[in-house]
Structures are given as C-alpha cells and as structure tokens.
C-alpha cells in the first residue's frame, strides 16, 4: 500500500476526467491535493486525443449530456487503442435510463477498474435494480458475489464503496476499513474517490491494479479520518479533507492501512 502511495506521489500522473458538473471542481482539487495533475477534457474532438497522452482516464456518468456521452465513447476508444488505463464510475445507474444504457456499453470496453456503491455495482453485474439516485440501498458485503462476477467477466478490478469498501479482481477480494460518515454529507465524495482510483492506477508503476485501487481507498479513508477530527460539520470537513490528502505521507499509509483479505467464497 505505502509503496504504491509513494510511487503515485513521485509520478504525478496526468488524469483526464470526464465527470459530472456537480463535482468537477472538488474532483480536480482532490487530484491536485493527492499529487496528481487533473485535466477535465470532455469535449468531442479533444477527449480522444487527450486520452492517448493521459496517464489515466476517469469516465463518471453523473450528468451525462449528449456531448459528454460522445466524448466518453471517444475517450474510451482512444484509451483502448493507446493502452491508457481508464476507470468507470457508473453514478446512479439502474433507475435512470440514459446512463444505465451507456454504462452497460462502456463496462464491456475493458476498464481497468470500476468504482461505485453496492447498488450501482449490482446493476452492472446484472443482479440489482439500483438505489435511490446516488444513494445505495445495499451494503458492499452484500454485493460481493456480484462484484467478483463482474470483475471476472470484464477483467476490471471492481471497488464497492460503503462503510467498509470491498475491492476485488475476481480472484482476490479485500475489505478496506476507514473513512468517516461525514463523507456521505459531501457531494462528490464518492466521485473524487473514483478520480483518486484513476490516479493510483495511472501512477502505480510496477504494482498491480488491485493494489493500486486498494491503496487509493486506504489513503482516502485515512485522510477522511483526519479531516473528521478537525471538522465542525460537512463544510469544514470537505475543506479539511483536501488538506489531509495533501499532507498524507507514506508512513501514515503504512501505519494506518486496515485491509482484510477475505477467505475465498465457496
């Protein structure tokens, strides 16, 4: 974990984000705080070119306008050709038709990782109906079988966010403890985590995607715990979270990581 964290800091990966209008500012600031270089390039005619040179691409479906949908397809195709790893964040799939269809199409295009809450992951796995907008009505542990199946089918590392985060490559499945309930009161806290996942995959050096995705969750959870200690509410928490991401050190990650490898399922 800690070595991967250090590698990302040293590399300063260039992360292209095609993400929703609600969270684009917070996402970019979270990436900067974590030592990455964000570039919110989501215009048709530019998204593909940039995906060829970026270190990683995030495709987040929170507010998928027609322009963004075309740009996402362009970026994913170019990333595939260029070998750029990309990450899918299927915000609120299930109930909402446009993004659900797009997510079903994109998840088959070989994302390096997929990050969502349990309801969203179960929809992609084909075994769930979705939650209440961006809220999950399931727990990560309950989504284990679906997440593992989705990982095996697509080749992606699948991360399910919740009170504990479940992460799997279809073979190995881990649970990450950490974070704070205040994360649920900051819009885009999950979306920013999807961006950090992209940064860690992009800048992971010789580490596995599973390790990179896990390290991103560990680092984010530790930063959230520190931020919660100083916060008087969700406003000051969001500010302190950016500070904590910036101030987090390799030793903190080494000392603070709480990762449990689960026994194989039957």
For its own copies, the binding residues (CB under 8 A) are 14, 20-26, 28-29, 32-33, 37-46, 49-50, 53, 62-67, 92, 95-99, 132-135, 184-188, 231-236, 238-247
Q: What phi and psi, each to the nearest 5 degrees, are found at residue 233? A: 165, -175
Q: Extract long-range pairs of 224-227: CB within 8 Å, 24+ residues apart.
A: 224/178, 224/179, 224/180, 224/182, 224/183, 225/178, 225/179, 225/180, 225/256, 227/180, 227/182
**Annotated binding-site residue? 188:** yes
**Annotated binding-site residue? 1:** no
Q: Cβ of residue 17: shortest distance to its own copies, in angstroms?
A: 9
Residue closer to its own copies (CB basis): 106 or 186? 186
Q: Cβ of residue 25: shortest distance to its own copies, in angstroms?
A: 6
Instruction: Give Cα 223 to chain centroid, integer Å.
Output: 16
**Annotated binding-site residue? 136:** no
Instruction: Give Cα 146 to chain centroid, integer Å.
Output: 18
Among 58, 69, 156, 149, CA closest to 107: 156
Q: Cβ of residue 14: shortest distance to its own copies, in angstroms?
A: 6
**Annotated binding-site residue? 62:** no
What the block records as the tokens of 218 is 């560990």
**108/62 Cα distance (integer angstroms):** 19
Q: Cβ of residue 241: shortest distance to its own copies, in angstroms?
A: 7
Residue closer to its own copies (CB basis): 101 or 108? 101
Residue closer to its own copies (CB basis): 149 or 225? 225
Residue closer to its own copies (CB basis): 185 or 255? 185
Binding site members: 40, 115, 161, 188
Binding site members for substrate: 40, 188
């Amino acid at each position: 974990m800690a070595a991967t964290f250090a590698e990302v800091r040293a590399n300063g990966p260039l992360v292209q984000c095609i993400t929703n209008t609600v969270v684009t500012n917070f996402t970019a600031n979270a990436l900067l705080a974590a030592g990455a270089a964000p570039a919110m390039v989501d215009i048709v005619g530019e998204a593909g070119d940039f995906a060829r040179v970026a270190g990683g691409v995030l495709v987040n479906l929170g507010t998928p306008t027609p322009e963004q949908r075309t740009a996402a397809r362009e970026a994913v195709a170019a990333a595939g050709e260029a070998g750029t790893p990309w990450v899918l964040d299927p915000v609120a799939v299930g109930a909402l038709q446009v993004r659900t269809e797009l997510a079903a199409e994109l998840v088959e295009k070989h994302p390096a990782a997929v990050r969502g809450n349990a309801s969203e992951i179960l929809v992609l796995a084909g075994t769930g109906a979705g939650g209440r907008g961006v809220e999950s009505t399931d727990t990560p542990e309950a989504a284990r079988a679906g997440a593992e199946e989705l990982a095996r089918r697509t080749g992606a590392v699948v991360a399910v966010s919740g009170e504990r985060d479940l992460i799997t490559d279809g073979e190995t499945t881990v649970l990450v403890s950490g974070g704070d309930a205040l994360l649920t009161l900051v819009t885009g806290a999950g979306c920013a985590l999807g961006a950090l996942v992209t940064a860690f995959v992009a800048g992971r050096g010789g580490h596995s995607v599973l390790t990179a995705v896990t390290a991103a969750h560990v680092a984010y959870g530790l930063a959230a715990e520190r931020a919660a200690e100083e916060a008087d509410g969700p406003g000051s928490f969001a500010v302190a979270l950016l500070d904590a991401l910036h101030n987090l050190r390799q030793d903190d990650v080494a000392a603070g990581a709480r990762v449990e490898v689960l026994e194989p399922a039957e």
